[in-house]
Amino acid sequence: MTETKITPASQGNDIAIEVKGMHKWYGEFHVLKDINLTIKRGERIIICGPSGCGKSTLIRCLNRLEEHQRGEIWVDGIELDDNLKHIEKIRKDIGMVFQQFNLFPHLTVLENCCLAPIWVLKKPRREAEETAMQYLERVKIPDQADKYPGQLSGGQQQRVAIARSLCMNPSIMLFDEPTSALDPEMIKEVLDVMVDLANEGMTMLCVTHEMGFAKTVADRVIFMDSGEIIEENDPESFFSNPQSDRTKLFLSQIL
Partner 1 sequence: MNVHTPHPDLPPPATSVGVIGWMRKNLFSSPINSLLTLASLYLLFKYVPPVIRWALLDANWLGSTRDACTNDGACWVFIKVRFLQFMFGFYPPDQYWRVVTAFTIFGVLIAWLLIDKTPKKGWVAAFTILVYPFIAFILFYGGMGLPVVPTHKWGGLMLTLILATIGMFFALPFGIILALGRRSALPIPKMLSVMFIELWRGVPLITVLFMSSVMLPLFMPEDFRIDKLVRALIGISLFQSAYMAEVIRGGLQALPKGQQEAANALGLSYWQSMFLIILPQALKTVIPGIVNTFIELFKDTTLVLIIGLMDLLAIIQAAFTDTKWLGFSVEGYVFAGLIYWIFCFSMSQYSQHLERKLHTGHKR
Partner 2 sequence: MSSHESSRHSAWWNNARYRALIFQALLICAVAGFFAYIGSNTIHNLEQRGITTGFAFLKQKAGFGITQHLIPYTENSTYGRTFVVGLLNTLLVSALGIVFATILGFIVGVARLSSNWLVSKLAGFYIETFRNLPLLLQIFFWYFAVLRALPSPRQSLHLGNSFFLNIRGVYLPRPIFEPGFGLVTAAIALAIVGSYLLYRWAKKRQEETGEQFPVFLTSTAMILFLPVIAYFIAGKPLQWEYPELHGFNFRGGITVIPELAALLVALSVYTASLIAEIVRSGILSVSHGQTEAAYALGLRPGKTLRLVIIPQAMRVIIPQMTSQYLNLVKNSSLATAIGYPDLVAVFAGTTLNQAGQAIEIIAMTMGVYLSISLLISMFMNWYNARSQLKER
| Site residues for partner 2 per CB under 8 A | 63-65, 88, 91-92, 94-96, 98, 100, 102-106, 115-116, 118-128, 147-148, 150-152, 161, 164-165, 168
Q: Is 239 in the site for partner 1 (CB under 8 A)?
A: no
Q: Is 102 in the site for partner 1 (CB under 8 A)?
A: no
Q: Which does 76 bind (CB under 5 to 8 A by kind): partner 2, partner 1, none?
A: none
CA separation, residue 105 to residues 111, 148, 220 (Å): 10, 7, 36
Nearest Cα neighbor of 50 from 182, 242, 227 is 227
C-beta closer to partner 1: residue 93 or 228: 228
C-beta closer to partner 1: residue 199 or 244: 244
Residue 140, phi then psi, degrees to nearest 5: 70, 30
Q: Is 2 in the site for partner 1 (CB under 8 A)?
A: no
Site for partner 1 in 201-230 (CB under 8 A): 225-228, 230
Q: Is 248 in the site for partner 1 (CB under 8 A)?
A: yes
Nearest Cα neighbor of 180 from 99, 73, 248 is 99
- 134 and 114 in contact (C-beta within 8 Å)? no
**Binding string, 59-78, against partner 1, x = CB under 8 A?**
----------xx--------
Residue 236, phi then psi, degrees to nearest 5: -60, -55
Q: Which does 244 bind (CB under 5 to 8 A by kind): partner 1, partner 2, none?
A: partner 1
Quickly count: other Cβ atoms within 10 Å of residue 126's Cβ. Answer: 9
Burial (Cβ within 10 Å: 0-12, 13-18, ≥19) of residue 226: middle
CA-CA distance, 254 to 101, in Å (whole number)? 25
C-beta closer to partner 2: residue 36 or 151: 151
C-beta closer to partner 2: residue 12 or 105: 105
Residues 6+ apart with CB under 8 A from 105: 148, 149, 150
Q: Which does 74 bind (CB under 5 to 8 A by kind): partner 1, partner 2, none?
A: none
- 188 and 140 in contact (C-beta within 8 Å)? no
For residue 228, the minimal CB distance to partner 2 (Å) is 25
Q: Which does 245 bind (CB under 5 to 8 A by kind): partner 1, partner 2, none?
A: partner 1
Q: Is 244 in the site for partner 1 (CB under 8 A)?
A: yes
Q: Is 5 in the site for partner 1 (CB under 8 A)?
A: no
Q: Is 27 in the site for partner 1 (CB under 8 A)?
A: yes
- 221 and 243 in contact (C-beta within 8 Å)? no
- 109 and 91 in contact (C-beta within 8 Å)? no
For residue 61, the minimal CB distance to partner 1 (Å) is 15
Residue 171, phi then psi, degrees to nearest 5: -100, -10
Per CB under 8 A, residues contacting partner 1 are 23, 25, 27-28, 30, 33-34, 69-70, 225-228, 230, 243-246, 248
